[in-house]
A and B are shown apart, each in its own frame.
Chain A
Amino acid sequence: ETGVTQSPTHLIKTRGQQVTLRCSSQSGHNTVSWYQQALGQGPQFIFQYYREEENGRGNFPPRFSGLQFPNYSSELNVNALELDDSALYLCASIPREAGPLGGDTQYFGPGTRLTVL
Chain B
Amino acid sequence: RKEVEQDPGPFNVPEGATVAFNCTYSNSASQSFFWYRQDCRKEPKLLMSVYSSGNEDGRFTAQLNRASQYISLLIRDSKLSDSATYLCVVRGTYKYIFGTGTRLKVLA
A, B in one complex = no
Interface of A with B (CB < 8 Å)? none
Interface of B with A (CB < 8 Å)? none
